[in-house]
Structure 1
Amino acid sequence: MIPYGKQDINQDDIDAVIQVLRSDFLTQGPVVPAFEEAVSTYCKVKYGIAVSNATAALHIACLALDVGQGDIVWTSPNTFVASANCALYCGASVDFVDIDSKTYNLSVDRLAEKLSIAKKGGILPKVVIPVHLCGQSCDMEAIHELSKVYGFKIIEDASHAIGGKYKNQPIGNCKFSDITVFSFHPVKIITSGEGGMALTNDEYLAKKLRLLRSHGISNSKVDMEERPTEEIWNYQQIELGYNYRMTDIQAALGLSQLQRLDEFVAKRNVIAKNYDELLKGLPLVTPWQDPNGMSSFHLYVIRLNLSQINKTQKEVYEEMRNQGVLVNLHYIPVYRQPYFEKMGFDKGYCKEAEKYFTEAMSIPIFAKLTNIQMGQTINAIKSLMINF
Structure 2
Amino acid sequence: MHFSTVLARSPAGLFSHISRLAALSKDQVLLFALSPGSASSSDLAQLVQKLTALAPRTIGCLSGPLPARYGLSCSFAIFDSNSCFPFRSQIPGRASTQVGRRHSFRQKGPQTDLLDRDVPSGNIDWGAVWDQNLTNNELPTGLQSLSPDEIGTIIYFTDAAPEGLSNALARFPAATKLGLFAASTPFLTGRPVTLFKDDKIYESGAVGLALRHPEAHARVQFLGMEPLCEPMLVTQAEGNLVISLNNKNPTQLLLAAIRAAGIDFAASDSLKDNDEFALATLRAEDSHQMCTIMSGDPSRGTIALRSLSAPPIGARVQFFHRPKFTRVTIPPELTNPANPMHTLGFIACPETSQYTHFQESADGDGHIFGDTFLAASEGGFISSRAQEGRSEAPWSSAIPGSLATLGWMSAEDGTIAPNPFPGSLRN
Tell me which interval the TM-score lies in, with the shorter structure as reference length.
under 0.3
Judging by fraction of residues, say which structure has more strand: 2
Judging by fraction of residues, say which structure has more helix: 1
Normalising to structure 1: TM-score of the pair? Answer: 0.27
Normalising to structure 2: TM-score of the pair? Answer: 0.25
